Amino acid sequence: MMRLPPFTYLAPVSAADAVKLMADHGHDAMLVAGGTDLYPNMKRRQFEPKVLVGLRGIKALVGVRGTAEAGLTIGSGTTLTATSQHGEIARRYPALATAAGLVSTPQLRNMGTIGGNVCVDTRCNYYNQSYQWRKAVNFCMKKDGDVCLVAPGSPRCWAVSSSDTAPVLWSLGATGTLLGPAGERVIPVSALYRDDGIEYLAKRPEEILTEIRLPPADGLRCAYLKLRRRGSFDFPVLGVAVALSMDGQVVRQARIVLGAVASLPREAAEAARLLAGQRLSAELIEEVAARAARPSKPLDNTDLTHAYRKKMTRVFVSRALRRLAGLPGDGGART
């Protein structure tokens, strides 16, 4: 059995106190929300913080405020279950409810938070292993080693962004509020990520994601499709998030964002531009789907083969758009 290493747990009751504790303890400290990803990673010695700053006692981080007409604000400590079952989110931002509801298992969704999901670590077959396993292959540069075992000549890590909600929030044009020692700043969710498997977040370590704001849902149609080996629970090996702003039957603006094909969610902007000013037709959807698969460049470091995941990008974008257009061939039940 893998055990947690010893650590000190601090339990602030305000976000400002949590920021102060993070700043005081520097590199020794990490934030923990639901702990559903962080604790297993600590057991495998992928993270070795001496101090954990727990966010669960901060009541101000929990809950959903606002209306879909004006835009919703989701506290980062809101659980994935609460997010997926929130009436206004489920009705007006169904892609987000779907993505949150497809994370892991009911138990982990009851503990896991949307903030933790947005900030969740990148994944790789050579990294998400026990300490002994990693030691047997002489570790890799993401933790304890010097080389990348997937791309040995590479100067960088290619671990994969595997959050279900990140591509959806990006596609919706959501923003995140970060609180740090210098105060608060609001950035688009799209600016929160870096194309690096190790330094995958653009936020500073002591900054806390306090809330996520969704823009008004007026004219919004959105969908999220997830490819995974087991339908019961598994990380995505491909996630496709599509958000369309509609003027009646005409697409005003479109965003297509791919999850689990790179170290950050990958926007297929060129493909989405083909949709602007157009009505959704079967022919257009096929053209857009083929174009959207171009920036999908999965490596052979997660489940299922990378060639298959690349191929499925076109299929899943097509299914998502067909679903939003009400056309047949949308893949049937949610995946």
Ligand X SMILES: Cc1cc2nc3c(=O)[nH]c(=O)nc-3n(C[C@H](O)[C@H](O)[C@H](O)COP(=O)(O)OP(=O)(O)OC[C@H]3O[C@@H](n4cnc5c(N)ncnc54)[C@H](O)[C@@H]3O)c2cc1C
List of residues contacting ligand SF4 (CB under 6 A): 124, 126-127, 140-142, 148-150, 157-159, 197, 301
- What is the DSSP track for 97-166? HHHHHTSS-HHHHHH-BHHHHHTPPPB-TTTSS-HHHHHHTT-BTTBB-SS-SSSTT-SS--PBP--SHH
Closer to ligand X by Cβ: residue 75 or 94 = 75
Between strands 250-259 and 238-247, the pairing is antiparallel
Cα 72 from chain centre: 18
Contact set for ligand X, span 139-168 (CB under 6 A): 162-164
104 near ligand X (CB under 6 A) = yes
Q: Which of 20, 23, 40, 194 binds ligand X (CB under 6 A)?
A: 40
**Binds 76, which of ligand SF4, ligand X, none (CB < 5 to 8 A, cut-off by type)?**
ligand X
* CA dist 218 → 105, 150, 279 (Å): 32, 44, 18
List beta partners, residue 115: none
- Select from 27-35, 182-190, 260-268, 300-308 the region that touches ligand X (CB under 6 A): 27-35
- Select from 152-160, 185-193, 227-235, 307-315 the region that touches ligand X (CB under 6 A): 227-235
Whole-angstrom Cα distance, residue 327 to residue 141?
46
124 near ligand X (CB under 6 A) = no
208 near ligand X (CB under 6 A) = yes
Cβ at position 128, least distance to ligand SF4 in Å:
8
> Cα dihedral angle (257, 199, 83, 37), rounded to 10 degrees?
130
Closer to ligand X by Cβ: residue 122 or 245 = 122
**Binds 157, which of ligand X, ligand SF4, none (CB < 5 to 8 A, cut-off by type)?**
ligand SF4
Whole-angstrom Cα distance, residue 163 to residue 214?
18
211 near ligand X (CB under 6 A) = no
Whole-angstrom Cα distance, residue 216 to residue 67?
8
List beta partners, residue 266: 258
Whole-angstrom Cα distance, residue 335 to residue 215?
26
265 near ligand X (CB under 6 A) = no
313 near ligand X (CB under 6 A) = no
- Select from 26-34, 133-141, 150-158, 271-279 the region that touches ligand X (CB under 6 A): 26-34
**Binds 235, which of ligand X, ligand SF4, none (CB < 5 to 8 A, cut-off by type)?**
ligand X
Closer to ligand X by Cβ: residue 37 or 285 = 37
The percent of the chain in helix, strand and coil, each rounded to the nearest 5, is 30, 25, 45
- The number of beta carbons lying within 10 Å of the beta carbon of residue 2 is 11
Closer to ligand X by Cβ: residue 60 or 282 = 60
Number of residues that bind ligand X (CB under 6 A): 33
**Binds 55, which of ligand X, ligand SF4, none (CB < 5 to 8 A, cut-off by type)?**
ligand X
Residues that bind ligand X (CB under 6 A): 30-38, 40, 55, 76, 80, 103-104, 108, 111-113, 115-117, 119-121, 162-164, 208-209, 233-235
